[in-house]
């Protein structure tokens, strides 16, 4: 829908800002079990929820048609929003700076829970209705600009989104880049931003694109989910079965909490390997169900034969 493309970009920017604030706040947190109330994170979360509620209320007042679908999308958005709160504000945020396994859990919450739920919630379309009519018209006119339409169309191609998401996962888990992210807040910010942004684009190609008459969108979505499940499972297996610690920077903090660094890495690998695989499998089952429900019923032709 052309009128919400600008808000799509705004949505990505808001979540990237959350990731940026998250990374900077983590470097100053002393306790591994403290709640983190970074102002930019709290403001971004509060504004996103307020805009969604305002848009939802306005849409509900326009009539009963489509209310059930809007309520379901509201539930999905609120669930995704709460997952972001857990990942960015709860003690998991601080603990992720001490334990590799907590760090992996935080990444999985971003990419496998919050991102698909937010995409299903369609917040960009709902946020648009939080603005006055004149503002909505101006936003719609702006989104028809080639500077927004063309990049968005390219980034949401299934193959492009798949490559970006896979590259973010494998590159940032390479020891050199992961260690650099732990050592430098700016690189840490880039790491988290790329995880979240690539996951949003990936899940948009899975749940956000409408299926065409031939089911091509559903076929692409299932292929993307299956292949991603395979390569992320392989990465999780490598972390789990590695004979040594990949990330020396995690050794000191892990031992300070009384855990074995290698076992902590193995637990982090299992988080990516098993629950991560189940998340992609669940997504594939949902897409398969959508595909089957939208396919036309088969035509049954009854032929009659004559004897003699």
Residue-wise pLDDT for 213-262, tens only, equals 445 678 888 899 999 999 999 999 999 999 999 999 899 999 999 999 99
Which is more confidently placed, 139 or 200?
200
Is pLDDT above 80 for 212?
A: no
Return the pLDDT at 3. Answer: 41
- Residue 180: CB partners within 8 Å, gap ≥ 6? 187
Rounded to the nearest integer, the mean pLDDT of the chain is 83
Residues 49 and 82: beta-carbon distance below 8 Å:
no
Average the pLDDT over 99-112 and give the result: 94
The two three-digit tokens of residue 276, written as one number? 């991560």
Coil, helix or strand for 210? coil
Q: Within 13 Å and on the Cβ side, how many CA atoms surround 116?
A: 17
Where do the structural domains in the chain lie, given as residue ranges? 2-294
- The string of DSSP codes covering 229-274 is HHHHHHHHHHHHH-SS-S-THHHHHHHHTT--HHHHHHHHHHHHHH
Q: Pinpoint the alpha helices (H) of the chain.
A: 5-26, 39-60, 67-88, 91-95, 100-108, 115-121, 123-128, 133-143, 146-155, 158-173, 175-183, 185-203, 216-241, 249-256, 261-294
Nearest Cα residue to 181 out of 170, 191, 195: 191
- C-alpha 50: how far from chain center: 20
Per-residue pLDDT band at 299 (split at 50, 70, 90): low
Q: Is the pLDDT of residue 19 over 50?
A: no
Given this model, what pLDDT does residue 17 score? 45
Q: What are phi and psi of 298, to 5 degrees?
A: -65, 145
Q: Quick count: other Cβ atoms within 10 Å of Cβ 14?
A: 18
pTM: 0.81
Give 213 or 167, the one with higher predicted confidence.
Answer: 167
Does residue 190 carry a pLDDT above 60? yes
């Amino acid at each position: 829908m052309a009128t919400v493309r600008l808000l799509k970009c705004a949505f990505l920017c808001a979540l990237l800002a959350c990731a940026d604030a998250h990374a900077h706040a983590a470097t100053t947190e002393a306790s591994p079990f403290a709640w983190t109330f970074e102002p930019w994170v709290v403001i971004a979360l509060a504004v996103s929820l307020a805009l969604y509620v305002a848009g939802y209320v306005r849409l509900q007042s326009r009539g009963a048609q489509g209310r059930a679908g809007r309520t379901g999308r509201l539930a999905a958005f609120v669930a995704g929003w709460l997952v972001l709160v857990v990942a960015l504000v709860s003690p998991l945020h601080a603990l992720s700076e001490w334990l590799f396994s907590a760090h992996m859990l935080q990444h999985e919450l971003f990419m496998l829970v919050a991102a698909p739920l937010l995409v299903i919630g369609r917040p960009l379309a709902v946020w648009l209705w939080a603005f006055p009519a004149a503002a909505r018209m101006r936003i719609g006119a702006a989104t028809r600009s080639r500077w927004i339409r063309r990049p968005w169309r390219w980034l949401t191609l299934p193959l492009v989104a798949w490559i970006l998401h896979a590259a973010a996962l494998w590159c940032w888990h390479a020891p050199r880049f992961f260690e650099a992210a732990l050592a430098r807040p700016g690189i840490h910010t880039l790491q988290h931003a790329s995880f979240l942004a690539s996951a949003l684009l990936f899940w948009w190609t899975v749940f956000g694109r409408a299926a065409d008459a031939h089911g091509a969108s559903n076929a692409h979505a299932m292929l993307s989910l299956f292949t991603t499940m395979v390569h992320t499972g392989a990465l999780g297996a490598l972390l789990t079965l590695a004979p040594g610690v990949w990330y020396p920077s995690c050794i000191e903090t892990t031992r300070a909490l009384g855990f074995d660094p290698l076992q902590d890495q193995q637990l982090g690998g299992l988080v990516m390997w098993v629950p991560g695989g189940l998340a992609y499998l669940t997504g594939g089952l949902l897409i398969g169900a959508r595909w089957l429900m939208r396919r036309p019923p088969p035509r049954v032709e009854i032929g009659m034969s004559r004897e003699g």
